Amino acid sequence: MHEFPIALWLFTLIFLAAGMVKGVTGMGLPTVAMGLLGTAMPPSVAAAMLVLPSFITNVWQLLAGPAKGRLLRRLWLMMLGIVLGTVLGAALLVRVDPSWSRLALGISLIVYAGYALASPPLSIPPRIERWLSPLIGGVTGVVTGATGVFVMPAVPYLQALRLDKDELVQALGLSFTVSTVALAFGLFSQGAFRLDQWGFSALAVIPALAGMWAGQKVRAWISPARFKQCFLLFLVVLGLELAWQPFG
C-alpha cells in the first residue's frame, strides 16, 4: 500500500470545495480538484484521485433527465473522439516531467476561465456538426489525457449547439462521464492507476458529495452568476501559479 500523498485534512477540504463549486454551478469539480491537487502532487497522481468522485457525480448529472438516449445518438462521434484522444493523451500526463504537466494544466485552466469570462456567443450550424463533433472530441480527449481537465474545447462546443438548459446539463454529464472512464483506462494502461489508488479515489467521494449538497443549498441564497465569476477568476490565479512552477 502506497503512502497517502497529501495531508488528509487538505485532501478533504479540496474535494469539499470542488463539490461545492459543482453544486452551485453544475460543473467544475474535476477542474477545481485537479488544479488544487496538482499543486501538491504530480498531475498523473491527482488525475487518478479524481476518477471515482468525478464518475459518480457526473453519472448522477447525466441520469437526471430524459434526453440521455437522444444525446448519445447525436453525440456518439464526439464521445468516440474523446475516448481515443484521452487514451492516447494519457501517455503525456504519465511520461512527461510533472513540472511541464503542471504548465499544461495551468494553461488549460487559464484558457477555459478566459473563455468562460468572455462568453463569446458561438453557434454551430447543423451542417458541420457531423464532421466537427469527432474533431472536437479528439482534441478534448488529448487535452484531458495530457492535463486531467475535461472542459476544453468540449464545454464551448456543447454550449454552441444551442441545446436547451436541461439537455446541456445532461450533455455535459455525458461528456464528463465518458472523459472520466477514458482517463481511468488511459492511466491504467500506462501503469499510473494502480489498484491501491481505488481506496484513495473512493475516499474522495464522501467530501465531494457533501460539497455538492452544500453547494446546492448555497445556490438558493447566492447569485450563481457572481459565484461563477469569482470561481473563474480563482481558476485564472490557480492556472498562473501552476504555469509558473517550471520557471520558479
Per-domain boundaries in the chain: 8-247
* % of the chain exceeding 70 in pLDDT: 95
pLDDT at 168 (0 to 100): 84
Tens-place pLDDT, residues 24-46: 777 778 888 888 898 888 888 88
User: Quick one: pLDDT band at residue 206, thresholds 50, 70, 90?
Assistant: very high
Q: pTM for the complete prediction? A: 0.85
User: Quick one: pLDDT band at residue 196, thresholds 50, 70, 90?
Assistant: low
Tens-place pLDDT, residues 39-73: 888 888 888 888 899 898 888 777 776 777 888 89
pLDDT at 240 (0 to 100): 92
Average pLDDT over residues 3-30: 83
Quote the CA–CA distance of 52 and 72 in Å, as a whole number.
Answer: 22
Q: Grid coordinates 475516448 are at which residue?
A: 83
CB count within 10 Å of CB 2 equals 10
Q: Is the distance from CB of 145 to CB of 86 less than 8 angstroms?
A: yes
CB count within 10 Å of CB 136 equals 25
User: Quick one: pLDDT band at residue 3, thresholds 50, 70, 90?
Assistant: low
The answer, yes or no, to whether residue 188 has pLDDT greater than 70, is yes
The answer, yes or no, to whether residue 17 has pLDDT greater than 60, is yes
pLDDT at 84 (0 to 100): 96
Average pLDDT over residues 101-110: 88
The answer, yes or no, to whether residue 2 has pLDDT greater than 60, is no
Amino acid at 214: A
Per-residue exposure over 48-75, b if at least 16 CB sit within 10 Å of its own CB, e if not: bbbbbbbbbbbbebbeeeebbeebeebb
What average pLDDT does the chain have? 86
pLDDT at 1 (0 to 100): 44
Quote the CA–CA distance of 184 and 192 in Å, as a whole number.
Answer: 9
pLDDT at 81 (0 to 100): 97
Q: Grid coordinates 457572481 are at which residue?
A: 226
| Greater model confidence, 53 or 245 | 53
Q: Which of 60-64, 79-83, 173-177, 217-221 has the largest mean confidence?
A: 79-83
Using alpha carbons only, what angle is made at residue 194 by residues 154 and 136, rounded to the nearest 5 degrees?
15
Quote the CA–CA distance of 198 and 215 in Å, as a whole number.
Answer: 26
